[in-house]
Structure 1
Amino acid sequence: MRLTYQSTRGGESGVTASMAILQGLAKDGGLFMPVEIPKLDVSFETLSGLTYQETAYEVMKLFFADFTEEELKSCISKAYDSKFDTGEIAPLAKVDGAYYLELYHGSTIAFKDMALSILPHLMTVSAKKNKADKEIVILTATSGDTGKAAMAGFADVPGTRIIVFYPKDGVSRIQELQMRTQKGDNTSVVAIRGNFDDAQTGVKRLFGNQALKEELVSKGFQLSSANSINIGRLVPQVVYYVYAYARLLANQELEQGEEINVVVPTGNFGNILAAYFAKKMGLPIKTLVCASNENKVLYDFFTTGTYDKRREFILTSSPSMDILISSNLERLIYLSTGCDGAANAAFMQELAEKGSYTITPAMREFMSDFTGGFATQKENAAAIKNIFDRAGYLIDTHTGVAAAVYKHYRASTGDTAKTVIVSTASPYKFSGSVMEAIAGSEELVGRDEFQIVDDLSRFTGTAIPAAVEEIRSAPVLHNLECDVEKMEETVKNLLGI
């Protein structure tokens, strides 16, 4: 029987993978989940001899059951090609007693490339399969990296348009320039006067606005999403965990069946949820360490069982994690209720109305694979400096959070299991914060973003990525700004409605 999808809020079931990808969000506001998480049907011995592309097929074929082998392999080959600057796609670096899974070798130097390189291809195939005759409008909120990666992926893809909203003062200068210099006649980016949660909530509100959807359909448009709420974005993220484990086996770093820990710097919860999916598929993962920055809503949740977004929003040097509403957590909540859509919907309603909810002891027990940790700004900077000083290895400010949390986790638990730390972005994407961490704030005085980039390269002896070099002199093509309450009006204007 083919695997189908259902909404986490109970309103839709029996949905094909291609339709779930095309819709993005379920009609009842829920997220699409497979009726079961399939088990890997090839041995780890076989997986250890496969390329990234071959591994991707073995994982994705299980979730995307209505894609033919030819369709899926075509999407994979178009996605994981020369746009990545390493043949391995996701190499592992053994540093200071841990394995750093480098997910930033794509064209926008962040882990979002791993999924957003393939999503446009999955979506265009899905549109054909479902005989969709409307232009697909990708509507996305970004905390910094999703926006650029999505725009790069969808730029000039026939039959699509993409509109990205980002918090005006909540991303790094490099992140902002990457988005505002993006080419493509079908791309638009808008700075929101607010934070990421404002942008994300605004986009969700647009998806839930039936009158707007009907108006767009009447004008020939269909909304979809490129955020990790889209199952076509989440499933490709499962691949790199399976690949990493297989590589460790191939390199004889692990015994067959040996358990590993995985540490993931986490904001919207999609990346660590993908690791949980990999575990449920049969990957020997012992503990999933959810690493937060000072916006530690997830740390508090795993520590207390209460999710409470009613707190100060802190702008940190790891902006992609500056999030108080972790959308993908809903999928774990849903699973922990025994896939009870009504129970999950009640928690989500409580979050929307009260700003918090508390899960049951049984649900907490269900989540015992997870543990939370957080790092302060000072601890993050210290981790970046210590790893560079000790090993000559340069990490960004999100990976720094993960490294600091891992150090504390290991010291407090005595857990010595081999550990994969997910490295989510190039240090050059956050060059000011990284330079300050390793050399001191005085090195930044009177220097603009690109002078700091050059200084970081000289100081560390590392190469500046092509993605940073190309925006150094690229013209700014997008200048739009709007208030949160004007998002619908802005979308209509951009679509000429």
Structure 2
Amino acid sequence: MKYSSTRGNGVKLDSAQAIIQGLATDGGLFVPDSLPKVDASFIAALQELTYEERDAKVLGLFLTDYTEEEVKGCVTRAYGNGKFDDAMRAPVKIFDDMGVLELWHGPTSAFKDMALQLLPQLMSTALKKTGEKDEVLILVATSGDTGKAALEGFRDVDQIKIMVFYPEGGVSRIQQLQMLTQEGSNVNVTAVRGNFDDAQSGVKAIFGDKSFAEELGAKGVKLSSANSINWGRLVPQIVYYFSAYADLVKAGKIQAGEEINFTVPTGNFGDILAGFYAKCMGLPVHKLICASNANNVLTDFLRTGVYDRNRDFYKTITPSMDILISSNLERLLFHMTEDTAKVAGWMKDLVATGRYEVGQELLQKIQQTFWADWTGDDDTKELIGRVFADKHYVPDTHTAVAWKVAENYQQATKDGHYMVIASTASPYKFNGSVLEALGAETAGLDEFAMLDKLQELNDDPTPQGLASLRTKPLLHKDVCAVTAMKQAVLDFAAK
């Protein structure tokens, strides 16, 4: 299977080459030239497999230049060795009225682990397969979870360095501590004075600077990405949609072949796009519901066909979704139109004016699969308190946004398909907001006292990776302006 740019530069790469490169040279995102199709027997066979075995089956359809042994090896190293605290890796908590797909049982307690434990293995294998001799420098912009998951996945991996930029004051304290205490001889964490979109735009500008790439190349360094713009970051996320479906059939909650819905909290559109790929491949998905917070640029787009980032930016209790430029939407536009010139034009408009419009015909096509809504902080907190009271279950703030939007969808459409909510983080990562939603007193408590307080209420124990932050030293203190990001990269690359 070959991969090419959403913006049509004509270059076709194997998956290993696309994963190493990360972003196409024209600024576009790599997409497969065709999507593999699966039948009912393929899906049925997943029921009796472990998560790693399911992973290898699905990945093998996309990574056709990797051998079966290479894929299995990558998967085993990613999910084994005690890295995940649940044998199912991505278990489904099944309630009568809906299921909750828990994607946060990895080492950093966020759904990003599902991909970012695997991407370093895929990339390291790709370097060996292609005979690449240069050092690869991974650049990451994070709104909170991607940064720590990428740092943990890539730490001390041979031939690779990783540099993470995060918005100063724009992540939760737990998320910040996870990054600032990160160990590893090949890692750097730098705060950016600005919001996530500033950090992401700065990283994209660095990738798009050919003279800068040449300057690094002369030093034997190539840039790549661990954000979901990298195909190797996105393709592992397809797997857990298949896995959840297989688990629901096995549990007798749905019948084989029955269509279900997924509601996904999303800012950069990568997680929900993986569900779209699963549906295109043949997984029985009825609707994908896109859940946003007050930074509801995706809600407006999926309702009107107008993408407009020219709006107020809000800091919310769901910081991983505080995003106004949703990079992976570009891939959806490509698959819906198969017109690289149109996609390139829309992305050019986004840079020049902050907006673009796709028209009613394309919007209606998108709406056949997607539905969208958003919810604010107050309703998010209300949902957390109500779910705890009704089910004695504690969702994190991002999961609560999805849960509330799922309720809104069901009330608005009367759609009776079984609903699965993508739970993207442990409640312990956002303990202050969750405790407030539960009516607990937090005045005077530091982050770790709040972890203990939440543990008193929650059935699930505090993840070890978060509990261990109490005693870890702060190792990263760099801060820079957006305009200084390029120099910061040069300084780190030279070390």
TM-score band by shorter chain is: over 0.9
Contact residue 5 and residue 16 of structure 1 kept, 8 A: yes
User: 1:56 is aligned with what amino acid?
Assistant: D
Residue 313 of structure 1 aligns to a residue in which SS?
coil
**Could you tell me which residue of structure 2 aligns to residue 336 of structure 1?**
336
Residue 253 of structure 2 aligns to a residue in which SS?
coil
- State the alpha-carbon separation in 2 of the partners of residues 402 and 51 from structure 1: 27
**Could you tell me which residue of structure 2 aligns to residue 189 of structure 1?**
189
Q: Which moved more, 1:481-490 or 1:246-255?
A: 246-255
State the Cα deviation string for residues 72-105 of structure 1 (Å, max 9, x = none): 1100110111200011000010236110000000
**Could you tell me which residue of structure 2 aligns to residue 167 of structure 1?**
167
Residue 188 of structure 2 aligns to a residue in which SS?
strand
- State the alpha-carbon separation in 2 of the partners of residues 75 and 459 from structure 1: 37
**Could you tell me which residue of structure 1 aligns to residue 241 of structure 2?**
241
User: 2:124 is aligned with what amino acid?
Assistant: T
Residue 291 of structure 2 aligns to a residue in which SS?
strand
1:255-334 matches, cutoff 5 A: 255-334=255-334
- State the alpha-carbon separation in 2 of the partners of residues 61 and 109 from structure 1: 27
Name the CA shift for 1:461/1:369 in 2 (closer, same or farther; >3 Å). closer
- State the alpha-carbon separation in 1 of the partners of residues 334 and 321 from structure 2: 23
**Could you tell me which residue of structure 1 aligns to residue 134 of structure 2?**
134
Residue 471 of structure 2 aligns to a residue in which SS?
coil
1:153-232 matches, cutoff 5 A: 153-232=153-232
- State the alpha-carbon separation in 2 of the partners of residues 286 and 481 from structure 1: 45
Offset, 1:457: 1.1
- State the alpha-carbon separation in 2 of the partners of residues 482 and 167 from structure 1: 10
Offset, 1:126: 0.9
Name the CA shift for 1:288/1:461 in 2 (closer, same or farther; >3 Å). closer
Contact residue 115 and residue 236 of structure 1 kept, 8 A: yes
**Could you tell me which residue of structure 1 aligns to residue 355 of structure 2?**
356
- State the alpha-carbon separation in 2 of the partners of residues 387 and 333 from structure 1: 36
- State the alpha-carbon separation in 2 of the partners of residues 352 and 212 from structure 1: 20
User: 1:458 is aligned with what amino acid?
Assistant: E
Contact residue 112 and residue 146 of structure 1 kept, 8 A: yes
Contact residue 98 and residue 419 of structure 1 kept, 8 A: yes
Matched, 1:53 2:55: no
Contact residue 86 and residue 105 of structure 2 kept, 8 A: yes
**Could you tell me which residue of structure 2 aligns to residue 63 of structure 1?**
62
- State the alpha-carbon separation in 2 of the partners of residues 170 and 40 from structure 1: 41
**Could you tell me which residue of structure 1 aligns to residue 467 of structure 2?**
469
Offset, 1:469: 0.8
- State the alpha-carbon separation in 2 of the partners of residues 107 and 40 from structure 1: 31
1:396-411 matches, cutoff 5 A: 396-411=396-411
Offset, 1:49: 1.5
State the Cα deviation string for residues 380-428 of structure 1 (Å, max 9, x = none): 1011111001110011000010011011111111112101100000000
**Could you tell me which residue of structure 1 aligns to residue 20 of structure 2?**
22
- State the alpha-carbon separation in 2 of the partners of residues 488 and 126 from structure 1: 26
Offset, 1:362: 2.2
- State the alpha-carbon separation in 2 of the partners of residues 213 and 426 from structure 1: 38
**Could you tell me which residue of structure 2 aligns to residue 107 of structure 1?**
107
**Could you tell me which residue of structure 1 aligns to residue 421 of structure 2?**
421
- State the alpha-carbon separation in 1 of the partners of residues 292 and 283 from structure 2: 24
Matched, 1:490 2:474: no
State the Cα deviation string for residues 455-492 of structure 1 (Å, max 9, x = none): 11123354211011111110000000000000001111
State the Cα deviation string for residues 103-127 of structure 1 (Å, max 9, x = none): 0000000000000001001001111
Offset, 1:340: 1.2
Contact residue 304 and residue 363 of structure 2 kept, 8 A: no
Contact residue 12 and residue 27 of structure 1 kept, 8 A: no
Contact residue 95 and residue 393 of structure 1 kept, 8 A: no
Contact residue 7 and residue 340 of structure 2 kept, 8 A: yes
Question: 31, 34, 42: which one pairs with 1:33?
Answer: 31
Contact residue 12 and residue 26 of structure 1 kept, 8 A: no
Residue 439 of structure 1 aligns to a residue in which SS?
coil
Contact residue 142 and residue 166 of structure 2 kept, 8 A: yes
Contact residue 291 and residue 401 of structure 1 kept, 8 A: yes
Residue 263 of structure 2 aligns to a residue in which SS?
strand
Contact residue 336 and residue 363 of structure 1 kept, 8 A: yes
- State the alpha-carbon separation in 2 of the partners of residues 175 and 421 from structure 1: 23
- State the alpha-carbon separation in 2 of the partners of residues 363 and 386 from structure 1: 38
Residue 351 of structure 1 aligns to a residue in which SS?
helix
Name the CA shift for 1:95/1:154 in 2 (closer, same or farther; >3 Å). same
Q: Which moved more, 1:324-333 or 1:404-413?
A: 404-413
- State the alpha-carbon separation in 2 of the partners of residues 73 and 12 from structure 1: 31
- State the alpha-carbon separation in 2 of the partners of residues 13 and 108 from structure 1: 36
CA RMSD of aligned residues (A): 1.0
Offset, 1:12: 3.5
**Could you tell me which residue of structure 1 aligns to residue 146 of structure 2?**
146
Matched, 1:76 2:75: yes
- State the alpha-carbon separation in 1 of the partners of residues 96 and 144 from structure 2: 29
Q: Which moved more, 1:173-182 or 1:250-259?
A: 250-259
Point out where structure 1 has 5 or more consecutive residues left out of the alignment. none
TM-score of the two chains, using structure 2 as the length reference: 0.98
**Could you tell me which residue of structure 2 aligns to residue 390 of structure 1?**
390
Offset, 1:129: 1.5
- State the alpha-carbon separation in 2 of the partners of residues 43 and 192 from structure 1: 46
State the Cα deviation string for residues 175-214 of structure 1 (Å, max 9, x = none): 0000000000100000000000000000000000101101
Residue 471 of structure 1 aligns to a residue in which SS?
helix
State the Cα deviation string for residues 214-239 of structure 1 (Å, max 9, x = none): 11111010100000010001000000
- State the alpha-carbon separation in 2 of the partners of residues 86 and 450 from structure 1: 23
Offset, 1:365: 2.3
- State the alpha-carbon separation in 2 of the partners of residues 55 and 384 from structure 1: 32
Contact residue 25 and residue 207 of structure 1 kept, 8 A: yes
- State the alpha-carbon separation in 1 of the partners of residues 420 and 322 from structure 2: 23
Q: Which moved more, 1:456-465 or 1:32-41?
A: 456-465
Aligned residues, how many? 492
State the Cα deviation string for residues 295-340 of structure 1 (Å, max 9, x = none): 0000000111100000000000000000000000000111122x11
Q: Which moved more, 1:105-114 or 1:459-468?
A: 459-468
